[in-house]
Amino acid sequence: MKRGEVVGIIGRNGAGKSTLLKILSRITTPTEGTVEVHGRIGSLLEVGTGFHPELSGRENIYLSGSILGMKRTEIDAKFDEIVKFAEMEKFLDTPVKRYSSGMYVRLAFAVAAHLEPEILIIDEVLAVGDAAFQKKCLGKMGDVARGGRTVLFVSHNMAAISSLCKNAILLEKGEIKDFGKTSAIIDKYLTYQNYPDELIMDLSSPDIRKNSLDTSIFLWREISVKNSGNSLSSSIKLGEPFTINIRGHFSQSMEPDAQVSLGFGMTSPLGGPVFNSHKNMKGCDAGDINITISFRENFLAPGIYQIDLGANGPKIVDWIPEAYTITIEPITVDGLPAPINCGGLMIHPCQWFFAGTAGDLLH
């Protein structure tokens, strides 16, 4: 990597992206080989790491700066800018253990980006924040790179990777599968991950839920998709009904009034949201929960889509991006593609009324 370069790192869940960043950040020691780093590193990896939970936001800003080797006067000069960017003035003197995941990410990113490391390493953790703050962070990363500092960016959002990174690395099972221009690497990634290796995806690996804050109460176990014939399949025909089948596990019973929100989202090939859905539950007992989500009408246009899973509640944040990949296959009617794909992510059934020139309506 060259100074001032922004490089994206992409790959399927479990490919080794987070492990690589931990090695570069000197959190994890490599089992073999060496890493040469020239410059001061600032990292934002999993939610819950990097700050001392008992210390306040204010104290953690100074702690992070000290770890980076900065003097107190240097941190003082950046302090107001950090607080303003994070929009956390009211909670500066609150211990970070009481922060929500979104609050934590806001402050952690502000600290990592403003304390002027020569190398900034950002994991998918930004996806926990709200959309407006994500946009703000992406703009800041661009500013960091233009200032001559190097950025390593891991994300499942291909649109963000495409807009920020000139070059990208594709990881597969801990090895570099390819490196080059971002557009070419994204094309290869989307083609490579078109179909899941397993039709029933095991979600039990801790590496898969690297952005989770606390899974001691609930975690996602597995996910699969069935077609209209009730057969396991990751490929669904245009307009074909299908179901998403998910298994989760409550490791302990919740208090009668305690609530948890379980949900999923569908994202487009470039990472843009298509739609999401969730259900709120309360007083859940310990044990497995099996969820079937039915798409009796399938309006998705042909293409490759990702299913993301999320769980939010008291001490629960189990968020898994790209838990499953589903492909909507085009169909033909009378030898012609139907319907004609003019762009967009949905093909919605509308009523058409014709008047004037006579003709036969085929489909």
Residue 234 lies in a domain: yes
pLDDT of 150 > 70? The answer is yes
**At 255, which CATH number?**
2.70.50.60
Rounded Cα distance, 180 and 168, in Å: 6
Q: Choose the final residue of a domain: 144, 176, 192.
A: 192
Residues 146, 217 within the same domain:
no
Residues 76, 181 within the same domain:
yes
Residues 277, 176 within the same domain:
no
Query: What percentage of residues in the chain have a pLDDT greater than 90?
Result: 17
Residue 356 lies in a domain: no
**At 58, which CATH number?**
3.40.50.300
Residues 87, 231 within the same domain:
no
Using 50, 70 and 90 to split pLDDT, how confident is the model at 336? low
Using 50, 70 and 90 to split pLDDT, how confident is the model at 220? very high
Residue 362 lies in a domain: no
Residue 349 lies in a domain: no
Residues 268, 284 within the same domain:
yes
Rounded to whole angstroms, what are the CA distances from 29 to 34, 45, 81, 175?
9, 16, 34, 17
Residues 186, 40 within the same domain:
yes
Number of structural domains (the chain) is 2
Query: Which residue range is the domain that position 63 belongs to?
Result: 6-192
Which alpha helices (DSSP H) does the chain contain, by range?
17-24, 57-67, 72-86, 101-114, 131-146, 158-164, 182-192
- Minimum mean pLDDT range among 83-92, 202-211, 244-253: 202-211
- The pTM of the full predicted model, rounded to 2 decimals, is 0.61
List, for residues 313-334, the tens digit of each pLDDT value. Answer: 766 678 888 889 888 887 765 5
What confidence score (pLDDT) does residue 179 get?
93
Beta carbons of 19 and 174 less than 8 angstroms apart: yes
